[in-house]
Amino acid sequence: MNQPKPYVAGNWKMHLTREQAFELALGVGMLADRFSGVDLAVFPGFLVLGEIARGTAGSDMIVGAQNCHFLEEGAATGEVSPKQLYDVGVRSVLIGHSERRTFAHEDNELLSKKVLAAIQQGLDVIFCVGESSDQREAGETAAVVTAQLEVLSELPESKRVHVDIAYEPIWAIGTGQVATPEQAAETHLAIRTWLDGAGGFEGTRVL
């Protein structure tokens, strides 16, 4: 089996003006064309997604969204559907980021709906997992992360090829702390073990 391409993705969160975001995206797009052996993806804010997707359409860069709703359309004020994202040129979406889990109270049931809806509309998914500092100190990292992955067990096996996993410990987000290579490798092994046991995730990359 061929090894999947390395994947480098940047979540821009709620940063950058329209002009700054477009300029940065153009630069990343040029890098994507130079390094064809690596998948490069950017996840800007909603307001600039369409413009960036159109402006970099000739490059190999992947344009992704930071979130989506599970409905194709309807009464969901303030939300954006996977169908709308795909229509403006978005091809990937982050689902399950810890900030969404915490601030928007997104639970496994909701995340499961989002993952399936995104894939059905043609988007690839980066599914995010990670543990808190208390959970790491209690030795619960593997258990927490694999429990989060259970969302994907409901995904039909034919759809699993469209999922990659991003591990980012919650305690390292915006704190200046960084997981050591050993800590990251240990958690990646737990993730890979779960994926191998679930089946259908042979090509899934763990970021």
The domain made up of 67-207 has a fold known as TIM Barrel (3.20.20)
Whether 168 is a known active-site residue: answer: yes
Q: Which of 154, 148, 164, 87 is nearest to 116 (CA)?
A: 154
Quick check: helix, strand or coil at residue 142? helix
Residue 97 pLDDT = 97
- In terms of Cβ atoms closer than 10 Å to its own Cβ (0-12, 13-18, 19+), residue 126 is buried
Residue 21 pLDDT = 98
Catalytic residue among 69, 97, 99, 106: 97
Residue 2 pLDDT = 72
Question: 27-58 burial, b for 16+ CB within 10 Å, e for fewer?
Answer: ebbeebeeeeeebbbbbbbeebbbbbbebbee
Residue 197 pLDDT = 97
Counting as low any pLDDT under 50, the low residues of the chain are none
> pTM of the full predicted structure?
0.96
Q: Name every residue whose Cβ is closer than 8 Å to that of residue 26 and which is 6 or more positions away in sequence.
A: 55, 56
User: Which residue is it, tokens 């804010």?
Assistant: 45
Residue 1 pLDDT = 55
Q: Name every residue whose Cβ is closer than 8 Å to that of residue 168 and which is 6 or more positions away in sequence.
A: 98, 128, 129, 130
Q: How many CB atoms lie within 10 A of CB 114?
A: 23
Q: Name every residue whose Cβ is closer than 8 Å to that of residue 115 and which is 6 or more positions away in sequence.
A: 95, 125, 127, 151, 152, 155, 163
Question: How many CA atoms does the CB half-sphere of 169 hold within 13 Å?
Answer: 24
Residue 35 pLDDT = 94
- The residue extents of the domains of the chain are 1-66, 67-207
Catalytic residue among 51, 140, 168, 188: 168
pLDDT in tens, 97-122: 999 999 999 999 999 999 999 999 99
C-beta of residue 35 within 8 angstroms of C-beta of residue 66? no
- In terms of Cβ atoms closer than 10 Å to its own Cβ (0-12, 13-18, 19+), residue 172 is middle
What is d(CA 84, CA 25) in angstroms, rounded to the nearest whole number? 20
As given in the structure block, the two tokens for residue 102 are 């915490």
Whether 202 is a known active-site residue: answer: no
